[in-house]
Homo-oligomer: A and B are copies of this chain.
Amino acid sequence: MNIPEGYDPRAFEPFAVTVDLAVLTVRADRLHALLVQRGQEPYAGSWALPGGFVLPRESAGTAARRELAEETGLSGATVAGLHLEQLRTYTEPDRDPRMRVVSVAYTALVPDLPEPRGGGDAAEARWLPYDEVPPLAFDHGRILADARERVGAKLEYTCLATAFCPPEFTLGELRQVYETVWGVPLDRPNFRRKVLTTPGFVEAVEGPPRRTGGRGKPAALYRAGGATALHPPLLRPEGRTA
């Protein structure tokens, strides 16, 4: 721990610890982020990531789920099942002009959800297409960009894409997630084979129910399998961020 001689942490101006949430979804074939409009200074009127203070007896992960439930209006039970992942912690001394705030950022991947009802705290909450996100308050633009990059990379070597889908989904919907996040088209037959031959990626829903996404042949339904890692990975074409 290496506490310097005579160091008393309480003698310093205290640190505040917050969580910030980069909540992403795929909606109408576009990547969207959940943003809130700030009602107070600093950055009043600006858009920002949802988040808030970690309470004294709470872990950051617990705080993140609590805030997510508040902001999305989903029940605690529903939120408990969502994929939430610690992204990174942002600690620049001047990232908040008011005081020293260290923020633990989380990324949440959610299926297309109903429009959020501005989470109680006056601020308006809204899904915004990723490409149309205005400059954000604090360093939230940076956080959101980091989240997007992380998610794109994780799709390659994990089964994470299913987190963007409803409990039962078609392979077309799953492929749409990849195409939307990566911004490149994928070969449908090859994608299908890759997913189906990876053990535990998806499992077929036995009952012969089928569903249509509009026109075209109805597609078989699948749900997420037990696997989390994806070996060998599903690399995006060109191997570069598109």
Interface positions of A from 47 to 89, Cβ below 8 Å from B: 48, 50-54, 56-61, 67, 70-71, 86, 88-89
Contact with B along A24-66 (1 / 0, CB 8 A): 0000000000001010100000001011111011111100000
List 6 tightest A-B contacts by C-beta distance, closest first.
A14-B14, A231-B239, A60-B91, A2-B52, A89-B89, A9-B16
**Cβ–Cβ contact B18 & A15, under 8 A:** no
**Chain B residues whose CB sits within 8 angstroms of the CB of A221 once the complex forms:** none
**Chain B residues whose CB sits within 8 angstroms of the CB of A38 once the complex forms:** 1
Given A99-B9, A235-B232: A51 touches B2 (CB 8 Å cut-off): yes
**Cβ–Cβ contact A48 & B121, under 8 A:** no
**Cβ–Cβ contact B121 & A104, under 8 A:** no
A10 proximal to B (CB < 8 A) = yes
Interface residues of A toward B: which range? Answer: 35 or more
Given A53-B7, A53-B9: A2 touches B119 (CB 8 Å cut-off): yes
**Cβ–Cβ contact B40 & A3, under 8 A:** yes
Additional pairs, 16, CB under 8 Å, beyond known A1-B51, A231-B235? A1-B18, A2-B51, A2-B67, A2-B71, A3-B40, A4-B121, A5-B121, A15-B15, A15-B16, A17-B17, A17-B91, A54-B91, A89-B104, A91-B104, A102-B104, A233-B233
A187 proximal to B (CB < 8 A) = no
Output the least CB separation between A77 and chain B (Å). 22
**Cβ–Cβ contact B1 & A48, under 8 A:** yes
A130 proximal to B (CB < 8 A) = no
Output the least CB separation between A238 and chain B (Å). 9
Contact of A91 among B40, B61, B123 (CB under 8 A): B61
Output the least CB separation between A153 and chain B (Å). 8
Output the least CB separation between A213 and chain B (Å). 32
**Cβ–Cβ contact A10 & B2, under 8 A:** no
